[in-house]
Amino acid sequence: MGPLIDAWGAAAGDLTVLEVNSGKMQNAVQLWRTAFDENPGATAAGFNLAVGECMLGDKQAAIAALNRVLLFSPDDRKARESMQAVVTGGQPCGTR
C-alpha cells in the first residue's frame, strides 16, 4: 500500500470510531463495508463489519462478513470463534 492509501485507511478508521462512539452504528457499518469491499484483504475491517452487523441485529450479514474474513484469513481464530458464537446463538445479534 502507498502512503495515500494508508492515510485514507487511518482517517476512515478514525471516522468509524467517532461514529461508533456517537451512537451512529449504521454509519460505522457502512464505512466498514466500503473499506472491506474495496480491500477484501482488510480482515480487521471485515471483522468490525461483522460485529457491527450483529449489533444492528442482522445475523446473516454478520455471518456473511465473517465468511469473507475467513476466505482471506482461514486460520483467524478470533473470526472462527465469532462465527461459531453467532451461528449457535452464543452471541445473540441485536443486543448491545
User: pLDDT, tens digit, for every residue of 39-96?
Assistant: 988 898 898 899 889 888 899 999 999 999 999 999 999 999 999 999 998 888 875 4
Task: Enter the C-alpha cell of residue 44.
Answer: 480487521
Mean predicted confidence (pLDDT) in 14-38 = 74
- The pLDDT score that the predictor gives to residue 90 is 86
Q: Which of 58, 57, 8 is nearest to 35 (CA)?
A: 8
Distance in Å from the first CA to the final CA of the chain: 35
What residue segments make up the domains of the chain, in order of their start? Answer: 3-88
DSSP states of 8-62 as a string?
A: HHHHHHHHHHHHHHTT-HHHHHHHHHHHHHH-TT-HHHHHHHHHHHHHTT-HHHH
Question: Is the domain defined by 3-88 classed in CATH 1.25.40.10?
Answer: yes
